[in-house]
Amino acid sequence: MMSRQLLSGHKVEQASEEVVKNMKILPFIHGVVRILPEGWLYPGTAPTFIDRIHSVKFRSNDVMVMTFPKCGTTWMNEIVWTMLHNPDLENPKADETIFLRSPDIRFSDETARRYPTERGQSSLFPIFG
């Protein structure tokens, strides 16, 4: 089984057919990979996003929301954004979509760079260091 190393130092290998079969999920077009040494299973496209996240320049006042998929990431982003930018519930930007107010760095750190201070960002990948 061939593996490669990510910018974070983690190794990635293709998950075996047996592992994928036992997951009882719909097939992923790009397969499933295992991130080592932790053994996390992710869609085959994850290494691209993980390397992208690893190259993001974080600021000392950034707040990261990290959750497992389907465990309330959007709701948690709303809570964090409100605490940072709307404590009196009067901020007119509160009506904008949370995906603009609290960017998911898996998709674009360009969006995050536009925010001058106290950026609330999210990721489903627990790889930072």
Query: Could you tell me what percent of the chain has a pLDDT over 70?
Result: 84
For residue 19 the two structure tokens come to 């592992």
Is residue 91 within 8 Å of residue 72, measured between CB atoms? no
Span 40-79, pLDDT tens digits: 888 898 888 888 877 777 788 888 888 877 889 899 999 9
The string of DSSP codes covering 47-65 is: HHHHHHHHT----TT-EEE
Specify the pTM. Answer: 0.65
